[in-house]
Every structure is written in structure tokens, then in C-alpha cells.
Structure 1
Amino acid sequence: MNQTTQKLSVVEKVGYSLGDLAANLIFQTLVTFLAFFYTDVFGIPATTASFIMLTAGMIGAFVFTPVMGFIADRTKTRWGKFRPWILWTAIPFGVIALLAFSTPALDQNQKIIYAWVTYLLLLGVYAANNLPYSALSGVLTGNMAERNSLSAYRFVAVMLAQFVIQVLLLPIVLMLGNGDKAQGFHNAMILFASVGIVFFLITFLTTKERILPIVEEKTTVSQDIHDLLKNLPWLIMLIVTVLVFINLSLKGGAYIYYFENYLDQNALAAFLDGIGFNSFIHGLNATLQSMGVAQFKWPDDAATSAFGLFNGGGIIMQIIGICFSKQIADRFGKRNTFGAALFVSTLFLLAFNWFPKDAIGLCFVSQILHGFFYGLTVPLLWAMIADVADYSEWKNNRRATAIIFSAMLVGLKAGLSIGGSLLAGILGYYHYDAALQVQSPETIEGIKASISIYASIPFFIAVACLFLYSINKQTENQIEAELNERRKAAGK
């Protein structure tokens, strides 16, 4: 039977997507709250936090990830190359995530060492888990339309995790910690780690590797690197991946500072009253208390509530965008859809620099529109990377899925580390002080620029890079057809 075009069942798509939901409960916490956790919860200065995130992040990106790529491509078990890594790393991932967001009683130097070591360990186990997980999408099916569908399922799960973290994490932290953010983060990580372990096991049990190399031959590291260097679409996607995750880490981490330090708190409270949010929350609190769970009372401060609602609106619109992504990409091609949607989404992000501090409605509208157009791009990034793996096989007659994905995860981790470090560095440059109730005007300008001007630059450069990406709709169809013929001829 020709398995290269086999359709995936809904069970397999959902099972696969739960792996990304599990990983993103931790990953989205890193993107959105790591700088805030270090500066405002663990008490590490912003410039030191920048150093921790950059140095550990670069080791994770340029050491752990490529090494894991070479190992994964050479893994041989009865379960396949990539699935077993999801099983083997499930429990370590949860344990190390809990340690990374714990706040033991240490002096300042010990805190810095503890933060650096636990962040480095978390990046290491993330590489061992997420690189094989990402590469798995390239070997579940050879059908590019099915791959688009799989990516859509996967990134709906990502958006659900993002919703939990960006909308609910701060309230959960305050609830579970009874107002103590340090204890709240610790308890929240226990919950997320437990759920994540179960979801990783479901991913392992419900998926199957189908795409095998046409010729079972041993390849050397030098051959893999040589193939990569000849692969221009890979190089373009590597650069794009770095730029995308610089943006996500920078803007994602800066939003909380924007809400707590720039937007007018009275205007936020009035906005929440005006749309009925506060009435809803009061009713929810009353219901919970009547059920005997008074410890889960929703926080009262306007910044926390508005921040969650703001992120929630953007995430819902991203999910809607994801739902339209496959249809548009099937018609116009992944490259064209990705570039156009990314450009438009960036315009709405850039606008945040000029919103007055009491223009809460404008902020929410811009976030919603940004979320929708960015959502169109979300499933396409990894689907395009899977296409790059096919392109490499098409050109070189050798398949090296994990090394392709490991190179992209190098970009992801480099972007994440650079973006997070940039945010902490920008805060330090503009003299952010977590101990101050009111930041200086200079600091406020730096916070505004972080989520708008600075965050927009990587997206605009990524759009420009896509003009050099040669895998358009016509090339996608040609690659798929010719590889299918080769696999039929080889009996795969």
C-alpha cells in the first residue's frame, strides 16, 4: 500500500496536536513571562536577566539543538526515529519546568546561578522533546494537503495553550498562591507539568511514522551539512524562523509591562465595566464561593484582568485565522499567504506606539486584527519547513528530516533567546526598576517601543526574505508528485 498519500485520522491529528499543547504550556510561559518572572518575582535585575536568557539560550540553540538533530535522524527503534523521544522526555520535561519556575531562598549570586542552570536544563530537555516532535510531522504523511490540515490541528492546540498562559496564567498564579506570585508560579507549574506528561503519552500512543527514506543508507554529518548549505529555501526559512521568534518573545514578554506601567488603570477599569466584564467576574466569583472554592477568587486589579482579556481576544482571532489558513494556502500557496498576512499583521502591531494611554478600545481592536492576520501564518511556518525537507529529498535523493527541523529549532531558540534578552536589555537600558510604583517617562517610552517599533522590525525583514523563497504553489505540487512517484517505485 502506498502510505505516502495516506490520509490521517482525526484521532491521530488530535493526538499529535496534544503534544504541542503540552510543550506550549511551558514554552508560552517562557515567551510571555520569563523576563517578568525573573525581574518581578525572583528579584533578578533586568540586565542580569538579559544575560541569563541570552547566554543559556545560545547554548540551547547552537549546541543542544543541532546535536539532537543528528541523534534523532540516527535513532532506530521499533517505534520509529522520533516517537520514542516524546515518550522518553515526558517526565523530565515536567520536572525541569517546575524547577525553572521555582524560587528557592537564595542570595543574589545563588539566584543567578540557579536561574541560569535551570533555564539551560529546560532548553536541553525542550530540544530532546520538541525537535523529534516537530520532525514527526514530516513523516506522518507525504500528502501536503494533509500536512496543512495537520498543522492546523496542531496550532489550534498551540492557541489553546497560548490562551491558558496569556489569558489565565496571572489570575491562576494569584489564585493558587493566595496573592503570593512566587508560590503561585510554583503551583501552576505543578499543574501544567502533570497535564503535559499525560498529553505527551497520548501523542506517543496515537501516532505512526510512515515516511521512510527511499534508500536506507548511512549518511555522515558532513553530508547533512552539505545538503543544508545547498538548500536556499532552508536558509530563508531559518532566517524567517529566527525573526518570527524574536518578535514573539519580545512583544509577548513586553505586553505585561505595557499594561502594568503605561495604560491608564482608571481607563482600564472603566473599559472592563463598560463591556460587562467586571459584572461577569463578580458573578463568577460569587458562584465559586457558593461552591466552597473561595480561594479561586478572580484578582481585582484592572491590569491583570484587562491583560488576560486583551490576550484572549487576540488568541481567539488567531484561532479563527488558523481555520482560514489552509483554504487560502491551498489556493495561493503557503509562501504568498504567509508573506501577505505577516505584513498586514505587523501594521496593527506597529500602531501600539501611538495609542494614548487611555485609548483602551483602540488597543483591543488593534490586537484583534493583528491576531487574525497573524493567525493565518501560524500553521504555515512549520508546514513550509516540512516542505523544505521534501525539497531537500527531491534535490538530493536523501531524506534528513530531523536535521532540517533541528536547524529550524536552532532558529526558534535563537529567536526566543534574542527576543527575551532584547526585552530584558531594553528594560535595563531604559532604567526599568521593578521596585518602583511608577516608572519614569523614559522607561515608559522604552516599554511602548518594545511591543511596537522594536517588535515590528523582525516581521518586516521576514516579509522581505520571503521574496527569495522559491517554493511557490507550482513547485509544491511538482515536488509532491515527483516524490510520490519515487516512493511508489521504491515500494514505500
Structure 2
Amino acid sequence: MNVSSKLSVAEKLGYSLGDLAANLIFQTLVTFLAFFYTDVFRIPAATAATIIFVVGLLGAFVFTPVMGLIADRTRTRWGKFRPWVLWTAVPFGLLALLAFSTPNLGVHGKETYALATYTLLVLVYVANNLPYSALSGVLTGSMEQRNSLSSYRFVAVMVAQFIIQVLLLPLVLILGDGDKAHGFHLVMMVFAAVGTLFFLITFFTTRERILPVQEQASSIREDLGDLAKNRPWWIMLAVTVLVFVNLALKGGMYIYYFKYYLNAAKLADFLDGIGFNGFVTGLDRLLVGLGLSGFHWPHDAAASTFSLFNALGIIFMIVGIGFSRPLADRFGKRNVFGGALLASTLFLLAFYVYSPDAIGLIIGSYIFHGFFYGITTPLLWAMIADVADYSEWKNHRRATAIIFSAMLCGLKLGLSIGGALVAGILAFCGYHPDATMQTPAVVDGIRLTVSILCSIPFLLAVALLFLYEIDKPMESRIERELDARRRLVGEGA
């Protein structure tokens, strides 16, 4: 078997649909779960925050590492990781639907229901997404093909992100005819059905080619020991944490930036000037003419511009992803990742000098930030797959899932830190949620956060990459030598 063989377009598309399916749910959880619990299901905010935080930690530090150990020791005729995508396809969809349902159970009953359904959903999400992520490391031994696979995968992620961040709330209002509870239920029914189908497509269109040699029988202690000695893994773990601190910090603070820092009149003028308001009005008339409830877009200028801001950022991230593979193939993943991350950071820093009236410059900077950050998104996970190869090359043992599980712990830790920083910074500056106008200290804190403070994690990640030793020549050496080992084992089998 040629473990470095070229993957077909069908296999790349089939694999990427799994990430689209998972992110329809994951992005909804990240963006709207707190809103759903407090404003739709009517759970007290403090209780909702506790449920989200506790279950998040449980997912990061219990479910994820345990699942990594289980997945690496799974043995079936379908492989180690593909079966988990199959086994969890239907439960994932059902639990997503249950988690966004609103049974009338009373206050304590609702809290118990939310805790139970969210815990089970996170458990199944980990059982699905960790093996799915690890699967990218065993579809092919070719690092060039992994670059291509990651590009397909993260276009799918951006499509899901666009659907959730830009279109989900209008869809909830349209399908529910203004009833958010009913609208969420119908939207999640669609997501559950589509997601289940996409997971099944992923299972049937992919094939595991990188298999551990039959003699390999490493213990959990050996796997953890290999991990502890793996310097590239430590670096990528730190980089993963830092990247997701940035994503949570800026993602959580942008809505305040639009609401309290930018000039509302200038935002309205900008939307009128580019024809956005006219477009939404025309779309609303079309939907009403078709017998639907209308396109319930947010009416205030800050919310509308924020949605447009997110949409343009995601679109240009997708454009950036298109440049990721050819650049990485030529210059190596480490160099392209670090260079693009640095370039994206410069456009974040520019937010510090923009006045509240500079709407066009702000939108333009975010477009360029999105483009350069888009180049990096496929490379992060492709580099983690390379770290799994590096571990096998060094130790003659392969433990793909435990490496990916540690990175997913880093992802969840980064999101938790970034999310906590948003609330902490606002509290430190004296933010009052009921005030129509915030104090200058709060406004300055918001501006500082979306520019300088958000840039620090990215700059630290760029600095760490100078210590990451898997450059383009080492990529080629590892791939060549592992391929020779696997061929030798195959010939002797």
C-alpha cells in the first residue's frame, strides 16, 4: 500500500463534510448557547454560566484525554478513527436537537435538563470530533496531501461559521415566525439531519492508510512519556492555546466595540452608502411575498454592521485558505503559518489608532486580517498531524489520537481563558450592562482589547514558532523515512 498516495477530490470533500457537520453544532454552542439558555429557555444567567463553564472543563480535561487513549487503542476492520465517526453520527444529531429544545419543566427541571443534555452533547462531540481530527493524520503519509486536505476541511469550517454567525438568528426568526424557541428547534432539526448525513458520507468516502505495525503495543505510560519528550508538540500546544485565546477574546469583545466605541450615525451612513439597508429591505419584501414572516434582520446599525463585519471576515478567510496549500508546499508550513499570523496581527494592531468614525478603514482592516488569518487555519491542524509523524519517526511508535486530544484540550483551554478575559476586562474597567453610554475608561478598555491585547497572543505564538524545528527540509525527511519504514513492514508482512 502506498501510504503517501494522492487523495482523490471525492475523499477530500467527503472528509471536509464531517467538519462542516460538527461546526454547525459547535459554532452554535460557542456563539448562541448562553443566549439560548438565558433568553429562550429562561434559565438564570448565573446558572447558565456555571453549566457552560463546568461542562466545558469536563470536556477539556476528562472527556478529551480519555477519548484520546480509547481511540488510539480501537481496533476494527474499518480502522481506529473512522468507526467513531459512524457510531456517533446519529447520537450527535439527536443530542444537538435535545440540547436546543425547550420543555416546560419548571426552573429546577430546566436546569437539570440543560446540564444533562449539554454534558451528553459535549461527550458525544468529543467522541466524534477527536477521532475525526486524528483521522486526518492517517489518511495519507504525504505532508503535501495533508496541506491540501486541511484546505478543503477549513473551507467547510468557514462555511459553517458563516451560516451560524451571519444567518442563524434570522433563520430562527423566519422559521419560528418570530418564536425563537420554535425557531431554534426547527433549525436544529435541519442541522441534525444534515449533520448525520454528512458524517455518514465522511465514513464511507475515507480510508485509513497509516496503520501501526502489528508489533506495536505501547502502554499508556509510554504514550504519555513520548508526548512529554516531544518538543514540537509542546510548542504546538502553546501555539494552540494562544491562538484560541485570541479568537475568544476578540470574538467576545467585538460586539461591544461596535455598540459602544463606533459612531452609530456613521455606521448607519456606511450601511446606506453601500446599499446594505436597501438589500435587506428588498429581501424582506420577497420573503413576505412568499408567505414567510419576513427577514428579521437586527434593526440597529451597530448589530447590522457587526453582522456584515463577520460575514466579510469569513469570506476573506475562505479566500486566504485558497493560498494556504501552494504557499506551504513551497515554503513549509512553519514559515507560512508564522508569516501569515504576523501579517494578520498587524491589521489587528491598526484598530488601536482608528477613530470611531473610520468605519471603512475598520472594515477594510478586518478583511485583510481575515485573509491572512485564513492562510493559517488549515496549517495549524496539518502541523499537529506532522507532530504525530515526528513522534513516530523519533520513537517508532504511533499515537495519533493522544496528540490530537492534547491539542483539543489546548483549544478548549484557550477559549475558556479568552472568554473569561472578556468578562474580566469589562468588569475591571467598570462596565455597566444597563447603561446606554459607557464611561471613557470602559470605551478605552474595549478599544485596547480589540487591538493591543488581542495581538499579544498572536505575537507570542509567532515567537514560539522560531523554536519549532519541523521546517520544510525536516518535513521531507520525516515523510521519506517513514514511508520507507512502512514499505519495509508491508513487504515483510
Task: Please indicate, yes or no, whether the TM-score normalized by the shorter chain is above 0.5.
Answer: yes
Q: Contact 2:14–2:202 at 8 Å: present in 1 too? A: yes
- 1:469 maps to 468
- 1:72 maps to 71
Would the alpha carbon gap of residues 38 and 263 (structure 1) be closer, same or farther in structure 2, given more than 3 Å must change?
A: farther
- 1:198 maps to 197
Query: What SS is found at the alignment partner of 2:319?
Result: helix
The one-letter amino acid of 1:373's match is F
More displaced 10-residue stretch of structure 1: 50-59 or 464-473: 50-59
Would the alpha carbon gap of residues 47 and 448 (structure 1) be closer, same or farther in structure 2, given more than 3 Å must change?
A: farther
- 2:313 maps to 314
Cα offset for 1:472? 0.5
1:246 aligns with 2:245: yes
Tell me, in whole angstroms, the C-alpha distance in 2 between the residues paired with 1:353 and 1:102.
42
Tell me, in whole angstroms, the C-alpha distance in 2 between the residues paired with 1:424 and 1:109.
26
5 Å matches for 1:147-162? 147-162=146-161
5 Å matches for 1:78-227? 78-102=77-101, 115-227=114-226
More displaced 10-residue stretch of structure 1: 340-349 or 180-189: 180-189
Would the alpha carbon gap of residues 238 and 339 (structure 1) be closer, same or farther in structure 2, given more than 3 Å must change?
A: same
The one-letter amino acid of 1:285's match is D
More displaced 10-residue stretch of structure 1: 96-105 or 471-480: 96-105
Would the alpha carbon gap of residues 371 and 142 (structure 1) be closer, same or farther in structure 2, given more than 3 Å must change?
A: same
Tell me, in whole angstroms, the C-alpha distance in 1 between the residues paired with 2:432 and 2:91.
35
- 2:323 maps to 324
Per-residue CA deviation, residues 411-468 of structure 1 (Å, 9 max, x unaligned), is 1122222222333444444555555555555444444444333322221211111111
More displaced 10-residue stretch of structure 1: 195-204 or 252-261: 252-261
Would the alpha carbon gap of residues 97 and 351 (structure 1) be closer, same or farther in structure 2, given more than 3 Å must change?
A: farther
Tell me, in whole angstroms, the C-alpha distance in 2 between the residues paired with 1:252 and 1:481.
41
The one-letter amino acid of 2:258's match is F
Query: What SS is found at the alignment partner of 2:237?
Result: helix
Per-residue CA deviation, residues 128-175 of structure 1 (Å, 9 max, x unaligned), is 010000010111111111111101100110111111112212322333
TM-score by length of 1: 0.92
Per-residue CA deviation, residues 4-43 of structure 1 (Å, 9 max, x unaligned), is 1211111110010000001111222233344555566566
More displaced 10-residue stretch of structure 1: 132-141 or 172-181: 172-181
Q: Contact 2:14–2:206 at 8 Å: present in 1 too? A: yes
The one-letter amino acid of 1:379's match is P
More displaced 10-residue stretch of structure 1: 52-61 or 70-79: 52-61
The one-letter amino acid of 2:57's match is M
Query: What SS is found at the alignment partner of 1:491?
Result: helix
Which structure 1 segments of 5+ residues have no match? none
Q: Contact 2:280–2:295 at 8 Å: present in 1 too? A: no
Tell me, in whole angstroms, the C-alpha distance in 1 between the residues paired with 2:463 and 2:35.
32
Cα offset for 1:306? 1.7
Tell me, in whole angstroms, the C-alpha distance in 1 between the residues paired with 2:184 and 2:355.
32
Would the alpha carbon gap of residues 150 and 192 (structure 1) be closer, same or farther in structure 2, given more than 3 Å must change?
A: same
Would the alpha carbon gap of residues 251 and 168 (structure 1) be closer, same or farther in structure 2, given more than 3 Å must change?
A: same
- 2:408 maps to 409
Cα offset for 1:288? 2.3
The one-letter amino acid of 1:401's match is T
More displaced 10-residue stretch of structure 1: 101-110 or 171-180: 101-110
More displaced 10-residue stretch of structure 1: 63-72 or 352-361: 352-361
Would the alpha carbon gap of residues 259 and 172 (structure 1) be closer, same or farther in structure 2, given more than 3 Å must change?
A: farther
5 Å matches for 1:316-355? 316-355=315-354
Query: What SS is found at the alignment partner of 1:7?
Result: coil
Tell me, in whole angstroms, the C-alpha distance in 2 between the residues paired with 1:479 and 1:4.
13
Tell me, in whole angstroms, the C-alpha distance in 1 between the residues paired with 2:423 and 2:236.
26
Q: Contact 2:178–2:293 at 8 Å: present in 1 too? A: no
Would the alpha carbon gap of residues 358 and 36 (structure 1) be closer, same or farther in structure 2, given more than 3 Å must change?
A: farther
Per-residue CA deviation, residues 367-406 of structure 1 (Å, 9 max, x unaligned), is 1010011011010001000000000010011111111111
Would the alpha carbon gap of residues 150 and 224 (structure 1) be closer, same or farther in structure 2, given more than 3 Å must change?
A: same
Cα offset for 1:62? 1.1
Tell me, in whole angstroms, the C-alpha distance in 2 between the residues paired with 1:424 and 1:400.
38
TM-score by length of 2: 0.92
The one-letter amino acid of 1:369's match is F
Tell me, in whole angstroms, the C-alpha distance in 1 between the residues paired with 2:316 and 2:299.
26
Per-residue CA deviation, residues 223-252 of structure 1 (Å, 9 max, x unaligned), is 100110111001111111111112212222
Cα offset for 1:46? 6.8
Cα offset for 1:74? 0.8
Cα offset for 1:63? 0.8
More displaced 10-residue stretch of structure 1: 292-301 or 311-320: 292-301
Cα offset for 1:299? 4.3
The one-letter amino acid of 1:125's match is V
More displaced 10-residue stretch of structure 1: 387-396 or 53-62: 53-62
Tell me, in whole angstroms, the C-alpha distance in 2 between the residues paired with 1:117 and 1:358.
46
Tell me, in whole angstroms, the C-alpha distance in 1 between the residues paired with 2:19 and 2:344.
24
More displaced 10-residue stretch of structure 1: 341-350 or 32-41: 32-41
- 2:383 maps to 384
Q: Contact 1:314–1:367 at 8 Å: present in 2 too? A: yes
Tell me, in whole angstroms, the C-alpha distance in 2 between the residues paired with 1:203 and 1:185.
26
Would the alpha carbon gap of residues 196 and 429 (structure 1) be closer, same or farther in structure 2, given more than 3 Å must change?
A: farther
1:4 aligns with 2:3: yes
Q: Contact 1:170–1:304 at 8 Å: present in 2 too? A: no
Cα offset for 1:56? 2.5
Tell me, in whole angstroms, the C-alpha distance in 1 between the residues paired with 2:444 and 2:118.
29
Cα offset for 1:191? 2.6
The one-letter amino acid of 1:303's match is A
Tell me, in whole angstroms, the C-alpha distance in 1 between the residues paired with 2:157 and 2:19.
6
- RMSD across aligned positions (CA): 2.5
Q: Contact 2:173–2:296 at 8 Å: present in 1 too? A: no
Q: Which of the pair has the greater relative contact order for Cα pairs under 8 Å at 6+ separation?
A: 1
Q: Contact 1:50–1:422 at 8 Å: present in 2 too? A: no
Query: What SS is found at the alignment partner of 2:3?
Result: helix
Cα offset for 1:68? 0.1
Query: What SS is found at the alignment partner of 1:5?
Result: coil
Tell me, in whole angstroms, the C-alpha distance in 2 between the residues paired with 1:355 and 1:106.
49
Cα offset for 1:181? 4.4
* Total equivalences in the alignment: 491
- 1:228 maps to 227
Q: Contact 1:176–1:295 at 8 Å: present in 2 too? A: no
Which structure 2 segments of 5+ residues have no match? none
Q: Contact 1:54–1:418 at 8 Å: present in 2 too? A: no
Tell me, in whole angstroms, the C-alpha distance in 1 between the residues paired with 2:44 and 2:429.
13
Tell me, in whole angstroms, the C-alpha distance in 2 between the residues paired with 1:85 and 1:198.
15
Would the alpha carbon gap of residues 45 and 292 (structure 1) be closer, same or farther in structure 2, given more than 3 Å must change?
A: closer
Q: Contact 1:31–1:420 at 8 Å: present in 2 too? A: no
More displaced 10-residue stretch of structure 1: 209-218 or 434-443: 434-443
Identity of aligned residues (%): 67
Q: Contact 2:10–2:205 at 8 Å: present in 1 too? A: yes
Q: Contact 1:268–1:302 at 8 Å: present in 2 too? A: yes
The one-letter amino acid of 1:451's match is V
Would the alpha carbon gap of residues 130 and 15 (structure 1) be closer, same or farther in structure 2, given more than 3 Å must change?
A: same
